[in-house]
A and B are shown apart, each in its own frame.
Chain A
């Protein structure tokens, strides 16, 4: 079947619940793999801190080599924390950067740096989005990736002290959530100014693998909602893990799409959405560990069909692709949506 739509049109239609020529395929989280790096001749760790390289790996790699309907930057979730003073450990050629030392303890009062947009790799990711918009913006949707306020707040003091403080001294975590929100809004607006068509929030620490539905409703969802209200482009939320008990709450943030893993009962979520008049599309849920990394292209095409039959609206890996995922498997995910 000839393709009648550009990836950009297809994804915008899919997000709006309008008809498409075929199911849209994106990668809500990072999709740079070793073979993709070989294909475009750009590698980690350099691509983490060079806008041109990031634009080639994410833009050319995503739009041309894999054939996704959207491209996105960056690859890791440490940029906000680094800009606020975290010490970063390089992931070298094979991994993404990680936080070596958190900038604050729970006893501190965090401050939001006025020059946030100039700090660390923040300008790199924003410039990469600007370049991708110039080069691929007519064909694919260009997305800027940010952390959710809850996850950024976690990254400022460390997950374990944060979770304990939720019980012992809840008043002390509020300033961190506010700073997390401020960082996310500022970063998101920076992307939008550079031409981003959409924003992806990765709020991986707000997963029910970590916190209770009650915690999610009190400490994550209100901040996600304020963040989405502050950004005037479609905003996709990605949260890892089991989310069955909070799918309606996530939808209530006003997000343009919810990106989930295969741990979520999608038919049940769709049913609940229908009963509540919610039209938010569900994005997912091709398993990065279950099929993408080790499966055959045929198995991946089957996984795409299964996802569509279970009510997934937009195909995407359920989480970040493992860097050693074969390129042909990512391409098979796109092929699987074509017939």
Chain B
């Protein structure tokens, strides 16, 4: 007997947590074949699974490699489901610019934040790695993003974060564009000193912070 949409969504979430790309592909195809709501399968299935994986990460049950595997499973599912999303059901999304600070090419943390934000239904503008302060601010203005999330993975590059925040002030954008920072060498004390609006301890916390800031 065919599974209900709710059952399929639950199975999708579970397959994401289990890092099982093959199962995700099968279930996503079943959603399409049954004519169930593709966006619902992303929100109630894939995103829910990623949310659970994020919680396991915070509980130190899962680590970065596990999250990467889960996110691969999510992307497999999205690739199958996306062409079947009915346009009117997709609401307007908040934009967030994410990137790795100038001098730093370690983008694993940034990529995880991107995955978590995307599966939480934010529109993520990826500035890439080795991003100069001006490029962060320019991108946020161009894209109409209210939040910039900056990662630094090395103590040797983190001072450029302060430059980005100062630039926002210089251009009179303080309050209009908020800055969230994170990465291994970053501490809450450092975030406070450089005037960041928030410090995010990990990719999962970044989602909570974004939701709080945007009230969504």
Q: Are B65 and A290 in contact (CB under 8 A)?
A: no
Closest residue of A by beta carbon distance from B72? A164
Q: Is the CB of A290 within 8 A of B187?
A: yes
Stretch at the interface among B41-49, B90-98, B105-113: B105-113
Contact A160–B68 (Cβ < 8 Å): yes
**CB-CB under 8 A for A163 and B184, given A96-B156, A99-B105, A212-B63:** no
Tell me whether B64 and A210 are in contact (CB under 8 A).
yes
Known pairs A241-B184, A294-B193; A288 contacts B64 (CB<8 A): no
The smallest beta-carbon distance between A306 and chain B, in angstroms, is 14
Instruction: Identify which of A98, A209, A289 contacts B104 (C-beta below 8 A).
Output: A98
- Once bound together, how far apart are the Cα atoms of A21 and B60, in whole Å? 41
Complex: how many Å from CA A17 to CA B159?
Answer: 36
Per-residue A-contact encoding for B101-131, CB less than 8 Å = 1, 0 else: 0111111100100000000000000000010
Interface of A is mostly: loop
**Complex interface: chain B residues within 8 A of A314 (CB):** none
Complex CA–CA separation, A95 to B66 (angstroms): 31
The range of chain A's interface size is 35 or more
What chain B residues lie within 8 Å of A289 (beta carbons)? 155, 158, 185-187, 189-190
Complex interface bits, B123-162 against A, C-beta within 8 A gives 1, otherwise 0 = 0000000100000000000000000000000111111000
Residue with the greatest number of chain A CB neighbours at <10 A, chosen from B19, B62, B103? B103
- Neighbouring A residues of B104 by C-beta, 8 Å: 98
Contact B111 A160 (CB under 8 A): yes
Residue contact A167 to B69, C-beta cutoff 8 Å? yes
Question: Are A320 and B103 within 8 A (Cβ)?
Answer: no
Q: Is A323 an interface residue (CB 8 A)?
A: yes
A279 proximal to B (CB < 8 A): no
A31 to chain B, nearest CB (A): 11
Assess whether A324 is in contact with B159, with CB atoms less than 8 Å apart.
yes
Q: Tell whether, in the assembled complex, residue A322 and residue B68 are in contact, meaning their CB atoms are under 8 Å apart.
A: no
**Number of residue pairs A-B, CB distance < 8 angstroms:** 96
Q: Which residue of B lies closest to A294 (CB)?
A: B193
Q: Across the two chains, which residue of chain A brings its CB closest to B185?
A: A289
Interface contact B65-A320, CB-CB below 8 Å? no
How far apart sit A37 and B121, CA to CA, in the bound complex (Å)? 47
In the assembled complex, the CB of B66 is this many whole angstroms from the nearest CB of chain A, namely: 8
User: How many Å from the CB of B134 to the closest CB on chain A?
Assistant: 15
Is the Cβ of B193 less than 8 Å from the Cβ of A163? Answer: no
A98 and B184 form a contact (CB under 8 A): no
Fill in one digit per residue for B163-196: 1 if any A CB lies within 8 Å of its CB, else 0.
0000000000000000000001111011001100
Tell which of A89, A95, A245, A294 touches B190, judged by Cβ atoms closer than 8 Å.
A294
A319 touches B155 (CB 8 A): yes
0 or 1 for each of B50-80: is its CB under 8 Å from A? (1 = yes): 0000000000101111101100100000000
Residue of B at shortest CB range from A323? Answer: B156
Taking CB atoms, residues of chain B closer than 8 Å to A329 are none
B residues whose Cβ falls under 8 Å from a Cβ of A: 19, 60, 62-66, 68-69, 72, 102-108, 111, 130, 154-159, 184-187, 189-190, 193-194
- 22 A-B pairs whose Cβ atoms sit less than 8 Å apart in the complex: A91-B103, A94-B103, A95-B156, A98-B105, A99-B105, A100-B105, A160-B107, A211-B64, A211-B65, A212-B65, A215-B63, A240-B184, A240-B185, A289-B155, A290-B189, A293-B159, A294-B194, A319-B155, A319-B185, A320-B155, A320-B156, A322-B155
Q: Which 6 A-B pairs have the closest CB atoms?
A: A95-B103, A289-B190, A163-B65, A288-B155, A212-B63, A98-B105
